[in-house]
């Protein structure tokens, strides 16, 4: 079992012919993900990776021809909102958006539209989703995790990799890792992922990686108290960040005294979540 992606995921790549899109598509194919199509307007009819992946001019054509049900978006920021709208209109049920730098106002429109359509979005500005041994959608390195029973959800891309590798080093595997991204307006949030992990019979424990800025971690703490039966271990990045300075993600900023790491840690600890002082402590806290 897993959440979001598995061996049955039929993936298409938007912006697949660009440098980043092509490189990461090769990595996803190597991992065993079913990449069934690419979409780049004006390049329909071409084939990639030695004739393995057909390229289409539109998502609708790609879906009709290949039965793709998931999209990964590598489209540049100024064109990404239209790419997201296009996938939703074509019947894609899960969109993973790697693109960073999409304006907040654009993402507000996109999020509202996808919610109306009932489309699940992961990202933007995220590393994607990895179900070890089954499928990877995005840019998470496939060799840093092994299959297991720990669900991982993270706002931080780099810390995601660090934690997955630390777990692997002690023989602990992941059921699915979801990098939700750290932008102010995104799709899937902590509560969405926690809810899916709670319902997944293969996930027995959960790691939550948060960071400064916003109130997502505090909201997650309330959800954990009210709805979670599985143990959750957490780490909050940015504990030494100065107020008013953006740290990494657009959403990782302390403003007017809100979004402090200490407040997030207190909220999580108050509901029984064990919070690591350093990422490498997470495997021992899971024991």
Specify whether 145 is located in the same domain as 115.
no
Please indicate, yes or no, if residue 70 is contained in any of the structural domains. Answer: yes
| Residue 129 maps to a domain | no
Place of tokens 């790419």: 83
pLDDT in tens, 182-220: 999 999 999 999 999 999 999 999 999 999 988 999 999
Does 42 reside within a domain?
yes
Give the pLDDT score at 238: 81
Strands (DSSP E) found in 70-169: 70-73, 94-97, 120-122, 128-131, 135-138, 147-154
Domain of residue 17: give its range: 10-122
> To which residue do tokens 């004006």 refer?
42
In CATH, what number is assigned to the domain containing residue 105?
A: 3.40.50.720
DSSP class of 174: E
The domain boundary, picked from 122, 154, 169, lies at 122
Question: Do 222 and 156 share a structural domain?
Answer: yes
Express each pLDDT in 116-168 by its tens digit.
999 999 999 999 999 999 999 999 999 999 999 999 999 988 899 999 999 99
Q: Looking at the structure, do residues 73 and 145 belong to the same domain, yes or no?
A: no
Contact 178, 208 (CB under 8 A): no
- Asked if residue 173 and residue 72 are part of one domain, the reply reads no
3-state SS, 176-233, equals EEEECCCCCCCCCCHHHHHHHHHHCCCCCEEEEEEECCCCHHHHHHHHHHHHCCCCEE
Across the chain, what does the average pLDDT equal? 94
Active-site residue among 202, 227, 249, 278?
Answer: 249
Domain membership flag for residue 234: yes
Same domain, 213 and 118: no
| Residue 226 CA to its chain's centroid (Å) | 24
- The total domain count for the chain is 2
Give the pLDDT of residue 252.
56
Specify whether 202 is catalytic: no
CATH number reported for the structural domain that contains residue 192 in this entry: 3.40.50.261
Q: Which residues are 258's β-sheet partners?
A: 255
């Amino acid at each position: 079992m897993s959440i979001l992606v598995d061996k049955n995921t039929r993936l298409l790549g938007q912006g697949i012919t660009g440098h980043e899109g092509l490189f990461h598509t090769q990595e996803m194919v190597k991992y065993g993900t079913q990449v069934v199509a690419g979409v780049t307007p004006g390049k329909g009819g071409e084939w990639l990776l030695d004739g393995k992946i057909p390229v289409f001019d539109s998502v609708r054509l790609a879906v009709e021809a290949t039965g793709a049900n998931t999209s990964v978006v590598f489209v540049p920021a100024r064109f990404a909102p239209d790419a997201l709208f296009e996938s939703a209109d074509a019947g894609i049920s899960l969109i993973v958006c790697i693109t960073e730098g999409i304006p907040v106002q654009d993402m507000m429109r996109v999020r509202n539209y996808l919610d109306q359509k009932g489309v699940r979005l992961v990202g933007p500005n995220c590393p994607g989703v990895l179900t070890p041994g089954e499928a990877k959608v995005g840019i998470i390195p496939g060799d840093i995790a092994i299959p297991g029973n720990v669900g991982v959800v993270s706002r931080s891309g780099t810390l995601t990799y660090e934690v997955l590798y630390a777990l692997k080093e002690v023989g602990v595997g992941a059921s699915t890792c979801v990098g939700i991204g750290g932008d102010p307006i995104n799709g899937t949030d902590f509560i969405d992922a926690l809810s899916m992990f709670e319902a997944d019979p293969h996930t027995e424990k959960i790691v939550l990686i948060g960071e400064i800025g916003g109130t997502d971690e505090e909201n997650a703490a309330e959800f954990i108290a009210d709805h979670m039966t599985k143990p959750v271990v957490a780490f909050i990045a940015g504990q030494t960040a100065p107020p008013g300075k953006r740290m990494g993600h657009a959403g990782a900023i302390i403003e007017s005294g809100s979004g402090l790491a200490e407040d997030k840690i207190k909220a999580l600890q108050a509901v029984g979540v064990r919070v690591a002082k350093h990422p490498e402590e997470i495997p021992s806290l899971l024991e």
